A and B are shown apart, each in its own frame.
Chain A
Amino acid sequence: MKTNKTNFRIFVSAFIFSLSFILASCEKVVEFDIDETERAIVVNALPNTDSLLFVNITYSRFFLDNGPFEAVTNASVTVDVNGIPYTSTQRDGANYLFSYRSTAGDTLTLHVNIPGHESITGTTIIPPLPDMPTPVAEIDTLQPIDSGDILISLSDPSEMENYYYIYLTERDSGIQWNMFERKWDTIDTVIHPYFNCLNHEITNADVNVSEGMMDYFNSLLFSDRQIDGQTYEIKLSLMMLKDTAEHPLLKEYSLVVESLSPEAFRYIKEVNASQSMTQYFAEPTQIFSNLSSGIGIFAGIARREYPLTFTYKESTE
């Protein structure tokens, strides 16, 4: 009996040992094909109504390399605006600067020529500016967790395809962010109340306009596919935002509403998708580019920024 038990233990031990041997994976570093390490020319420009135009031109880098992207310094860059050519006269590192500022309705064609490379071109149209009054930001102080809404009223032009992108920024730095930084207690602990555009509601229409995945900034990206030509009220949610003497907000914030060209919409959407958690279970996203050769984007944006002022109320429910 004892022998049987010993044999069984030996069998179990051998089984476990063998199984661990089998399941132990072997890893090996793969050699690269040299073609896969060739650098590409990257041209990025998002001409928008708030800024002078600049075009950023760099080389891509192999994923094993660490360091800044190398600037392309010998490019000749021109932009045709409604048929009138503008040439970059100044360069700051990788950025080719222009004296042109975009206006809604402008048609822009970019030409980038780099010795030894194919000419790179791209075209975009600056979309109309977002049409909406200053949003109202309300905080309900009676909720278990202070929560509130930002109410906006956006009028969408009819008979044309429009795309929108709404997000939060710090007013003094312009940094896109998803949280409100505020002082919490006497030892200067900073906490971050939460802003979530994805949690939104259109109060005058029973539709969900969100286009897919949440990005890092909890921004709202949508098309007017379902609400073309209407004025609609959007309620965006806030959490734990109570500006008091004990717990003041440390910074001022703005809500940014961008009207996007189709190219910008697709680019931002695919950038968001490529950074989404679902990416781990999916084929890697190929990010859209409207450039004739090379990678990157040339896409128009019409941008408006609305400083946020918070009002506090007690819920009636």
Chain B
Amino acid sequence: MVYASTRLSRILRMPFTFKYLLLSSILLMLCAAATAQKYTVSGSVIDSTSGETLIGATVMDLRSGKGALTNNQGHFSLTLHSDSVFLRISYVGYKTINESFVLKNNQKRVYKMKSSAELKTVVIRSERIDNAKSSQMSAIQVPIEQLKSIPVLFGEADLVKALQLLPGVQSGSEGNSGFYVRGGGPDENLFLLDGVPLYNVSHLGGFFSAFNTDAIKNVTLYKGSFPAHFSGRLSSVLDITTNNGNDKKLHGNASIGFISAKLNLEGPIKSERTTFCLSGRRTYADYLLQPLVKRIADNRDYKLRAGYYFYDINGKLTHRFNDRSRLFASYYMGSDVVYTRIRTLATNVQEQFLNFNTRWGNIIASTRWNYEINPKLFMNITAAYTRYSNKVGVNYETSTLATETEDSQSSEFKMDYISKINDFSLRADFDYTPNPDHLVKFGGYAIYHHFLPEVSSAHLNAYSADLMNSSFILDTSVNSGSVNAEELSAFIEDDWSLNEAVKINYGVNLSGFAVESRFYPTIQPRLSGRVMLGEGVSVKAGYSYMTQFMHLLSTTSVSMPTDLWVPVTNNIDPMYAHQVAAGFFYEIRAIADLSLEAYYKKMSNLLEYKDGASFWGSSESWEEKVVLGDGWAYGLEFLMQRNFGNLTGWIGYTWSKSMRLFDRPGQELNDKKPFPAKYDRRHDFSIVLSYKINSRIDISATWVYSTGNAATLSLQEYAQAQATADEYAEIDPEGWNGYLTSPSGRNNFRMPDYHRMDISANFHREFKNCSRTINVSVYNLYNRKNPYMIYESHEYSYAGYNGALVQLSIFPILPSVAYTLKF
């Protein structure tokens, strides 16, 4: 309690300017909002078949030209002058609703939209939020149904890999589901699952993302110009909303692909008021490979069990008290497991047992309450628990029974490595719509973090009857120390239409992080705006300042359980980034939408391992192994997309540069010179096309090209210096025996360029009570050997020395089939 009050007093003692800005921002927003209004139409927009709320649907009064969008809970509020109104409710893929009535008092509406017959089957499309008209730039909304049609690795629809095809988003290495946005690192992306941050977002070393597309309803990616209600990461926000569940009847789908099997069930519980949605996915290769594993051990003197699997489960319960109040309970659990168990059967006197088990993953449990306080004010309260953990455990036991010549002996050795984060959070969001010209969002959150970056423990218990029944017990634990921290944030923003042509979004996010003996307050202003130049033509610009209070320590380009999430500390300052962006948007009617965006981002306090340091092999704490530096990135993004007709898709191109500089005293890397970031790429190009042949068949293809990844290679060897005393002087005239290798710089080498083509076809068939889809896809159609890793190979043999620089490619041409049954 004393501890908590100390933290609170420290926060209350925050700088005067911090409090002043908070108060003045609130006053400014309220003044802006205090304009005359009459009556308000509020409510929600839902799918008439499933009862699912629709996010981003447009409610527009055609007489006044005023409109509103539904928020993440499907809620809208539109205040209009008392008059006859003509509302048009529209949403992509749904039949537009028109309604006219005389507005004499506040009205409550629930609009049930019917899915358009034309768009019942899936098309590929990347949809920009309200395109040219929105004040938001650098954001892309991706309907989840569309992602499922994109050709993917092993036929496994993957949210993150689909996002990698968009401009400004770069993939990591081949097949990896990590992503890098506008020159940022993999830890600079905020993944929000129903508003709750998720730490580990991949399975199987990053080849698959942790998101089961069957459970997801809507995805929005923000690459810049972040609204003030987002904070906590530098480079992007991926806002994912899961399905609430069908409120009419039980529905589901089951699918089996090359790598995993999935089941999704949703429906009402007793009445339409309460619904559930439950999705599960698990890989099954470990079951199928068991015969092979057993066969390996068959002819040997041990029993072997080994395998790998991952799974994830999404569950959601929704209860609607009335049209103004809803309660949600969500649960997510995803984990990767690697196990090996070996038991020897050599003799009946000696037995050995080895158990190796590694498990890592997330758990999220959250409860959310939506409440419409009045027609203009909507509230969303979320309480959540998040856990990320990884555990590596080794257990080795050996026992020898007494024989004529030897006494009994036994020993047991256990070793565990654990890393954990536990977060408890409470968040409140309010949407206030005083009139159609303003949408004010305000709120705040508090998160209590408990970090346990690294704990290694070992236990040895040895017993020998030979040595007078002596026992030897050793328990040791190396603990980097747990860290508790409190993160607080308050925000306010206003989306303000100044006139028909000009709209701005301005706001501020005030965040603070209390850790150890420090409190890090930040004031993060946000501003973006758009000017309409004509019908469907606009220019936009934006500025955002973002702060991040935690880092991911990673030594490899693939996602591994050894990656450590660590907080800022007394010695490690928060990361922050300033980003400016400007863009041109043009809707060419009946042809396509064009956009061109430029950005510049400056980042500070980026964290890297020192040269030669890694998670492994040193008793130093993680703080001793890292250095802090700066970075900058700039680029140009082009997107042309077509959203309608039988042929849909997009062409995206990014020109970018991302650099790092570590030149602070004692924190130097690369001899204090700038160097390219790990995933600095000059060119990224992608084409995604889909063609609907008829209602039963659609086909799609993607082609991607990018500049090769940077890598650090030591290609030159040189003599090592030695001090030689006079009396031992044996100076080798040809140079000394020892030699060193040292790279000429960080990321001094470029791998060959990357390009790949994938194709897929979906075959749909309707039955009386169900439908099925067979997806056939081919990854890497022309079998391009793309680089996954480059390494130096040294081989010595009697024939002599043979060295080479070897490129490892992991995915050749890969056909796959997936079968989905919907009922």
Task: Tell me which of A16, A50, A58 contacts B289 (CB under 8 A).
Answer: A16
Interface residues in A40-80 by Cβ distance below 8 A to B read: 40, 42, 44-46, 48, 50-52, 54, 56, 58, 60-64, 66, 68-71
Q: How far is the CA of A251 from the CA of B811 in the complex (A)?
A: 57
Which one, A107-115, A129-137, A295-303, A306-314, is touching chain B?
A: A295-303
Contact, CB under 8 Å: A279 / B612 = yes
Q: Is B742 in contact with chain A by the CB < 8 A criterion?
A: yes
Across-interface contacts of A39 in B (CB, < 8 A):
716
Q: Which A residue's beta carbon lies closest to that of B669?
A: A286
Contact flag A51-B723 (CB < 8 Å), given A16-B288, A213-B618: yes
Q: Which of A88-96, A155-163, A188-196, A226-234 sits within the interface?
A: A88-96
Q: Tell yes or no: B724 within 8 A of A by CB.
A: yes
CA distance A306 to B77 in the complex (A): 86
Chain A 278-289 against B: per-residue CB contact (8 Å), 1 yes, 0 no? 110111111100
B354 nearest CB across to chain A (Å): 23
For A21-44 the 0/1 string (1 means CB < 8 A from B) is 111111111101000110110101
User: Among A63, A258, A270, A303, which residue has its beta carbon within 8 angstroms of that of B717?
Assistant: A63
What is the bound-complex CA distance between A274 and B749, given in angstroms? 19
Complexed CA–CA distance, A56 and B720 (Å)? 10
Q: Does B739 contact A (CB under 8 A)?
A: yes
Bound CA span A18–B817, Å? 12
Instruction: Determine the chain A residues whose CB is within 8 A of the CB of B292 once the complex forms.
Output: 16
Partner of B721, one of A21, A51, A56: A56
Contact B716 A51 (CB under 8 A): no
Q: Does A174 contact B (CB under 8 A)?
A: yes
Contacts of A29 in B (CB 8 A): 804-807
Contact with A along B708-744 (1 / 0, CB 8 A): 0000111111111111111111011111100111110
Could you tell me the distance between the alpha carbons of A295 and B671 in the complex, rounded to whole angstroms?
A: 12
The chain B residue sitting closest to A174, CB to CB, is: B728
B718-A281 in contact (CB<8A)? no
A187 contact set on B, CB distance < 8 A: none
Roughly how many angstroms separate A296 CA and B718 CA in the complex, as a whole number? 8
Task: Tell whether, in the assembled complex, residue A282 and residue B614 are in contact, meaning their CB atoms are under 8 Å apart.
Answer: yes
Indicate whether A245 reaches chain B with its CB closer than 8 angstroms. Answer: no
The answer to whether A94 touches B734 (Cβ under 8 A) is yes
Find chain B residues with CB under 8 A from A287 CB: 740, 742
With A and B bound together, what is the CA distance between A56 and B718 in angstroms? 11
Query: B718 to A42, Cβ gap below 8 A?
Result: yes
The reply to whether B612 and A276 contact each other, CB–CB distance below 8 Å, is yes
Contacts of A285 in B (CB 8 A): 611-612, 742
* Number of chain B residues whose Cβ lies closer than 8 Å to a Cβ of chain A: 75
Chain A residue, CB-CB nearest to B284? A15
B809 contacts the other chain (Cβ, under 8 Å)? yes
Q: In the assembly, what is the distance between CA of A174 and CA of B731, in Å?
A: 12
The docked-state distance in angstroms from the alpha carbon of A303 to that of B716 is: 31
Q: Does B465 contact A (CB under 8 A)?
A: no
- Chain A residues, Cβ within 8 Å of B727: 174
Contact of B614 among A15, A274, A281 (CB under 8 A): A281
Asked if B618 and A278 sit within 8 Å, CB to CB, the answer is yes
Q: A63-B803, A212-B620, A281-B556 are in contact. Are A36 and B609 (CB under 8 A)?
A: no
Q: How many angstroms from the CA of A286 to the CA of B800 in the assembled complex?
A: 29
Docked CA distance A303–B752 (Å): 49
Nearest-Cβ distance from residue A190 to partner chain B, whole angstroms: 22
Q: 1/0 per position for B785-817, CB-CB distance to A under 8 A?
A: 101101010100000110111111111101000
In B268-288, the 8 Å CB interface with A consists of 285, 288
Contact status A26-B812, CB under 8 Å: yes
Is B604 engaged at the interface, CB distance under 8 Å to the other chain? no
What residues of A have a CB within 8 angstroms of the CB of B805 in the complex? Answer: 29-30, 32, 64
Interface residue B555 (Cβ < 8 Å from any Cβ of A):
yes
The answer to whether B614 touches A278, judged by C-beta atoms less than 8 angstroms apart, is yes
Contact A71 B716 (CB under 8 A): no
Report the minimal beta-carbon distance from A211 to chain B, rounded to whole angstroms. Answer: 10
Contact A93 B618 (CB under 8 A): no
**Is the CB–CB distance between B807 and A284 below 8 Å?**
no
Whether a CB of chain B sits under 8 angstroms from the CB of A12 is: yes
CB contacts (< 8 Å) of A180 on chain B: these are: none
| Cβ contact within 8 Å between A44 and B719 | yes
Asked if A125 lies at the interface with its beta carbon under 8 angstroms from chain B, I say: no
Minimum distance in angstroms from B129 CB to a CB of chain A = 38
Q: Which residues of B contact A64 (CB under 8 A)?
A: 803-805
The answer to whether the Cβ of A181 comes within 8 Å of any Cβ in the partner chain is no
B733–A92 touching, CB < 8 Å:
yes
**Residues of A177-226 contacting chain B, CB below 8 A:** 212-213
C-alpha gap A297/B742 in the complex (Å) = 13
Cβ-neighbour of B742 out of A30, A51, A173, A284 (below 8 A): A284
Identify which of residues 685-720 in chain B touch chain A, using a CB-to-CB cut-off of 8 Å: 712-720
Select which of B671, B721, B790, B810 is within 8 A of A44 by beta carbon: B721
Closest to A294 in B: B718
- Is the CB–CB distance between A284 and B749 below 8 Å? no
Cross-chain contact B719 with A58 (CB below 8 angstroms): yes
Is the CB of B75 closer than 8 A to any CB of chain A? no
State the CA gap A212–B621 with chains docked (Å).
11
**Is A69 in contact with B790, judged by CB distance below 8 angstroms?**
no
Q: A69-B735, A284-B743, A285-B742 are in contact. Are A46 and B722 (CB under 8 A)?
A: yes
Query: A274, B742: Cβ atoms under 8 Å?
Result: yes
Contacting residues, chain A, for B723 (C-beta < 8 A)? 46, 48, 50-51, 258, 301, 303
Q: Is the CB of B712 within 8 A of A60?
A: no
* Interface assignment of A84: CB less than 8 Å from any CB of chain B: no
Residues of A within 8 A of B614 (CB): 278, 281-282
Tell me the bound Cα distance from A305 to B785 in angstroms.
Answer: 57
The answer to whether A274 and B612 have CB atoms under 8 Å apart is: yes
The minimal Cβ–Cβ distance linking B177 to chain A, given in whole angstroms, is 17
A150 at the interface (CB under 8 A from B): no
Contacts A26-B812, A30-B752, A295-B742; is A42 near B806 (CB within 8 Å)?
no
Tell me the smallest distance from the CB of B494 to a CB of chain A, in Å: 45
Task: Specify which of B612, B722, B745 is in contact with A282 (CB 8 Å cutoff).
Answer: B612
Given the known inter-chain contacts A271-B740, A273-B611, A274-B740, please indicate yes or no for A60 contacting B804, CB distance below 8 A: no
CA distance A148 to B61 in the complex (A): 90
Chain B CB within 8 A of A19 CB: yes
Bound-complex Cα distance A284 to B717 (A): 13
Partner of B713, one of A40, A173, A278, A284: A284
Smallest Cβ distance from B814 to chain A, in angstroms? 6
B715 adjacent to A63 (CB under 8 Å) = yes
B615 touches A58 (CB 8 A): no
Contacting residue for A51 out of B611, B720, B729, B743, CB 8 A: B729
Q: Which residues of A contact B15 (CB under 8 A)?
A: none
Q: Does B16 lie at the interface of the complex (its beta carbon under 8 Å from any beta carbon of A)? A: no
Is B670 in contact with chain A by the CB < 8 A criterion?
A: yes
B534 in contact (CB, < 8 A): no
The answer to the question of A10 belonging to the interface, with a C-beta cut-off of 8 Å to chain B, is: no
A305 to B723, CA, bound (A): 13
Within 8 Å CB of A28, what residues of B? 785, 806-807, 809
Q: Does A267 contact B (CB under 8 A)?
A: yes
State whether the Cβ of A145 lies closer than 8 Å to any Cβ in chain B.
Answer: no
Q: Nearest-CB distance from A53 to chain B (Å)? A: 10
Q: How far, in angstroms, from A222 to B725 measured CA to CA in the complex?
A: 22
Contacts of B616 in A (CB 8 A): 278, 281
- Given the interface pairs A93-B732, A95-B731, A281-B556, the reply to whether A56 lies near B749 with Cβ below 8 Å is no
Nearest chain-B residue to A68 (Cβ)?
B734
Can you name 28 A-B residue pairings with CB atoms under 8 Å?
A19-B289, A21-B812, A22-B814, A24-B812, A27-B806, A27-B809, A28-B809, A29-B807, A30-B751, A32-B805, A37-B715, A50-B725, A51-B723, A63-B741, A64-B803, A93-B733, A94-B733, A95-B733, A173-B728, A270-B611, A271-B720, A273-B612, A274-B612, A283-B609, A284-B714, A284-B742, A286-B743, A286-B745
Contacts A30-B790, A68-B735 known; 15 new A-B pairs at CB < 8 A: A21-B812, A26-B810, A28-B785, A28-B806, A44-B719, A48-B725, A51-B723, A51-B724, A52-B726, A68-B734, A69-B719, A69-B739, A276-B612, A284-B612, A286-B669
Going nearest first, the 4 A-B pairs with the smallest beta carbon separation are A93-B733, A174-B728, A273-B612, A44-B721
